[in-house]
Amino acid sequence: MLRTYEYPKYEYSQPPEQKSGDIRRCPVVVVGAGPVGLAAAIDLAQSGVSVIVLDDDDTVSVGSRGVCYAKRTLEILDRIGVGDASVAKGVSWNVGRTFFRKEEVYNFKLLSQADHKRPGMINLQQYYLEEYEVRRARELANLDLRFLNKVTSATPRDDGVVLQVETPDGSYTLQTDWLIAADGARSAIRRMLDLEVEGKIFSDRFLITDVLMKADYPTERWFWFDPPFHPGQSVLLHRQADNVWRIDFQLGWQADPEEEKKPEKVVPRIKAMLGADREFELEWVSVYTFQCRRMADFRHGRVLFAGDAAHQVSPFGARGANSGIQDADNLCWKLKLVMDGRAPDALLDTYSEERGFAADENILNSSRSTDFMTPKSATSLNFRNAVLGLARDHAFARALVNSGRLSVPSFLTESRLNTPDVAAFAGDMEPGAPMDDAPIEEDGKVGWLLDCVGNRFMALVFVEDPASVGPAQARAMCTLADAPVPVEAVLVSPEGGTGPANLRLWRDCAGRYAGRYDTRAGTTYLVRPDQHVAARWRAFDAQAVRTALARATGNTE
Amino acid sequence: MSLKLEPNFHEPGKRYHRAFTPGDDFYESLIETHRDLSDEQSAMVNARLILLLANHIGDIAILREAMKVARERV
């Protein structure tokens, strides 16, 4: 038990199938009640799918583990109903500082633009996020959360998967049409299916400590290369909730993990950093190594791998949990369409393609950070120190300082679900882009664009004056909703006013939407349920929207 | 013209969504150039690299400025 947190103990109850001996066939089973599995389960349950979640434990993450949750993740958490709790408890931050020896050489801002709902990043111990997700999951009647349910075998079939599950009352069989494996880096499901995960292990060890103390350091990320208090290595300091500070010390490959975890070794390291007078208590200590690796394919028939089960990165950049939650976001709408018979099975292949692309990007960036932080040769070290030495005075060198490239969503510009542009646009919101936020006003209430899109396809049609939209055009927009995959059309206008009665109207009240999406009268965006741009045009054309929708859902022959 | 000290890395035909990407692309190639070389070989590669780049830049005034900046606070 920690001083600041009491681990919940979730109740186990005997599964009804075990009592009755019936073999139940369920639409979706999720294995793993971590941040990723729970996000997927909640997302599916919210869209009306019955889900069973199996987890071999009965509590949340032990230790702070995944600490940084990026803006994009918070936007997804908003859609599954845990964003507010996470942001309220977490520590929001936006500025990172990098020190070389005694001097600050570089600082960065995660979010340089104004008018986004969510901050660049929050720090929050992973156990809090899981606790909020469990709480949300329990509000959903069609989400059956089963603790102390351990999968002991998984047998894939053409039309589903047969699972053997062990509980304190013995074992039982479950059949499922679809299985989401979100059971972590050492995924048991991956092993049961005899699947490989390829990549490299970095030969380095890090000491992770959660330290309870009262300190008035600013809420920023501080990173040291070769500091006087830990010479030759790097150190990272982060503030978390409840006055718990996360301090990571690079130890080097030679370090003995068991020895380094002992308080008599840990405490002097922290004292050297904080000064002898600072009072603190150790909450949690761990030593870890890490790997950068991924499965070649995240989909194997009816089994879909997500999060650490599918890909792992070094922790520098907070690209682990953040990318896993984005996996869930990418997967669930596709799975729902396929289950409902509204998209072909092949749509799920694009889950592996798009998230595999993101995984490659995450692995690339976190490997580069790792190579910069822990140079592998005298020459690499020399270049690294040359960059740090030049960084104080020269902007070009500051741009090369790599103390972690923090999690940002991938631009899925290569995806085959995108419809290529036929007109010229300025800015970043090209097909495949993760949507930028903007303030918008509807019915006199100011809110956020990203709170209003998502979970369904939408067409955002920009008009200078909503009254100029004639009845025929309004009808064309409305009929997009009467299709197997409905598209909700919305007018966005710089001015308020009154538009056609049956269309929603958003006012671009700060002008940010027009700026960020480079809009003119008629500019239309088709956006996906996961808030990526699917297509855009300079004029509204219902047929073009339908064609792009077919492409975005794999419904092309 | 004077020595450029603002970020300047780019590659023809590449579009960047993140400001750190072009610099990181360069840095990775630089480190990769030295892979599996001894320290002595690396020092030789670095010397050759400087000569190649210096000839490419050509403007000796710029090169003198760079040499001066490189020596500062070493």
> What is the DSSP secondary structure assignment for residue A120, as one 8-state letter?
S
Q: Are A240 and A410 in contact (CB under 8 A)?
A: no
**Would an 8 Å CB–CB cutoff place A357 in contact with chain B?**
no
* Whether B42 and A400 lie within 8 Å, measured CB to CB: no
* Whether B39 and A377 lie within 8 Å, measured CB to CB: yes
What are the chain A neighbours of B28 within 8 Å (beta carbons)?
A: 368, 371
* Whether A395 and B73 lie within 8 Å, measured CB to CB: no
* Whether A383 and B30 lie within 8 Å, measured CB to CB: yes
The residue among A33, A354, A86, A289 whose CA lies nearest residue A362 is A354
* Whether B7 and A395 lie within 8 Å, measured CB to CB: yes
Given this model, what pLDDT does residue B57 score?
Answer: 97
3-class DSSP state of A99: strand
Nearest to B6 among A371, A383, A396 (CB): A396
**Would an 8 Å CB–CB cutoff place A551 in contact with chain B?**
no
Domains for chain A: give ranges and CATH numbers: 16-93+118-197+295-366 (3.50.50.60), 439-552 (3.40.30.120)
* Whether B27 and A394 lie within 8 Å, measured CB to CB: no
Alpha helices in B4-71 (DSSP H): 21-33, 39-57, 60-71
User: How distant, in Å, are the alpha carbons of A186, A201, A476, B38 from that of A312?
Assistant: 10, 10, 46, 31
Residues 6+ positions from A411 with CB-CB distance below 8 Å: A428, A430, A432, A433, A434, B17
Nearest to A378 among B8, B39, B73 (CB): B39
Interface list for A 488-517 with B (CB within 8 A): none
The residue among A62, A69, A80 whose CA lies nearest residue A320 is A69
Q: For tokens 């971590």, what's the residue?
A: A34
Cα(A68)–Cα(A126) distance, integer angstroms: 9
Give pLDDT tens digits along chain A (557 positions). 578 999 999 999 999 999 998 999 999 999 999 999 999 999 999 999 999 999 999 999 988 888 999 999 999 999 999 999 999 999 999 999 999 999 999 998 888 789 999 999 999 999 999 999 999 999 999 999 999 999 999 999 999 999 999 999 999 999 999 999 999 999 999 999 999 898 877 778 899 999 999 888 889 999 999 999 999 999 999 999 999 999 999 998 899 999 999 999 999 999 999 998 999 999 999 998 888 899 999 999 999 999 999 999 888 889 999 999 999 999 999 999 999 999 999 999 999 999 999 999 999 999 999 899 989 899 999 999 999 999 999 999 999 999 999 999 999 999 999 999 999 999 999 999 999 999 999 999 999 999 999 999 999 999 999 999 999 999 999 999 999 999 999 999 998 888 898 899 999 999 999 999 999 999 999 999 999 999 999 999 999 999 999 999 999 86
**Would an 8 Å CB–CB cutoff place A411 in contact with chain B?**
yes
Alpha helices in A145-230 (DSSP H): 188-192
Chain B residues with a Cβ under 8 Å from any Cβ in chain A: 4-9, 17-20, 23-24, 26-28, 30-31, 34, 37, 39, 42-43, 46, 69, 72-74
CB atoms within 10 A of CB A279: 9
Q: Enter the tokens of residue A51.
A: 């889900």
Cα(A476)–Cα(A473) distance, integer angstroms: 5
CA distance A407 to chain B (A): 11
Nearest chain B residue to A370, by CA: B28
What are the chain B neighbours of A379 within 8 Å (beta carbons)?
A: 34, 37, 39, 42-43, 46
Q: Are A184 and A308 in contact (CB under 8 A)?
A: yes
Nearest chain B residue to A400, by CA: B23
* Whether A405 and B37 lie within 8 Å, measured CB to CB: no
Written as one string, the DSSP assignment of A501-513 is TTSEEEE-TTSHH
Tell me the one-letter amino acid at A41.
Answer: A
Interface size A-B, in CB pairs within 8 Å, comes to 58
User: How distant, in Å, are the alpha carbons of A1, A389, A392, A439, B57 from that of B72?
Assistant: 53, 10, 12, 48, 21
Beta bridge partner(s), residue A446 = A441
User: How distant, in Å, are the alpha carbons of A77, A141, A325, A360, A476 from that of A355?
Assistant: 18, 29, 11, 8, 34
The residue among A42, A50, A47, A43 whose CA lies nearest residue A26 is A50
* Whether B27 and A402 lie within 8 Å, measured CB to CB: yes
> What is the DSSP secondary structure assignment for residue A445, as one 8-state letter?
E
Q: Enter the tokens of residue A462.
A: 């920009």
A514 exposure class (CB count in 10 Å sphere: 0-12, 13-18, 19+): middle
A150 torsion bin: left (phi>0), alpha (psi -120 to 50), beta (else): beta
* Whether B27 and A405 lie within 8 Å, measured CB to CB: no
CA distance A227 to chain B (A): 18
A7 exposure class (CB count in 10 Å sphere: 0-12, 13-18, 19+): middle
User: How distant, in Å, are the alpha carbons of A287, A288, A539 from that of A268?
Assistant: 16, 19, 66
Tell me the one-letter amino acid at B43.
Answer: A
What are the chain A neighbours of B37 within 8 Å (beta carbons)?
A: 379
